[in-house]
Amino acid sequence: MNSAPENDNVLSLHGTLTLDNVASTWRESQSLLHEGIQTVDLSDVTRVDSAGLALLLEWQARAHKRHKALRIVNAPDDLIRLADLSEAKDLLGLNGRSVKG
């Protein structure tokens, strides 16, 4: 998982967000999230499992504690399905990927 700020307020994630890399993504994200990231863009994420869902929920919880809003945009279908199954879709405020025609 590679992460990089696209601009001052957007964290763009790439690759997979799974058990295999959630710990490293967590470590990489700490300074970025404290610097005022307001949006997490998942457009280049190819796969998310329950560990990835848990990480996103933790980021949301930490933002909420700081009285900040964290938008998660361009969520892949597997994340939306997992969030639906675990009744976490509203907690994440998910914005799915748009269909390109």
Mean pLDDT, rounded, for 26-50: 88
Task: Please provide the size of the chain in residues.
Answer: 101
Mean pLDDT, rounded, for 3-16: 76
Which pLDDT does position 99 carry in this prediction? Answer: 47
What's the pTM value of the predicted model, to 2 decimals? 0.85
pLDDT digits (tens, 9 = 90+) for 62-94: 888 888 888 999 999 999 999 999 999 988 988
The candidate with the shortest Cα–Cα distance to 42, out of 80, 76, 78, is: 76
Domain boundaries along the sequence of the chain: 2-96
Mean pLDDT, rounded, for 35-48: 90
| Spatial CB neighbours of 23, under 8 Å, sequence gap ≥ 6 | none
CATH of domain 2-96: 3.30.750.24
Q: CA 15 to CA 45: how far, in whole Å?
A: 5
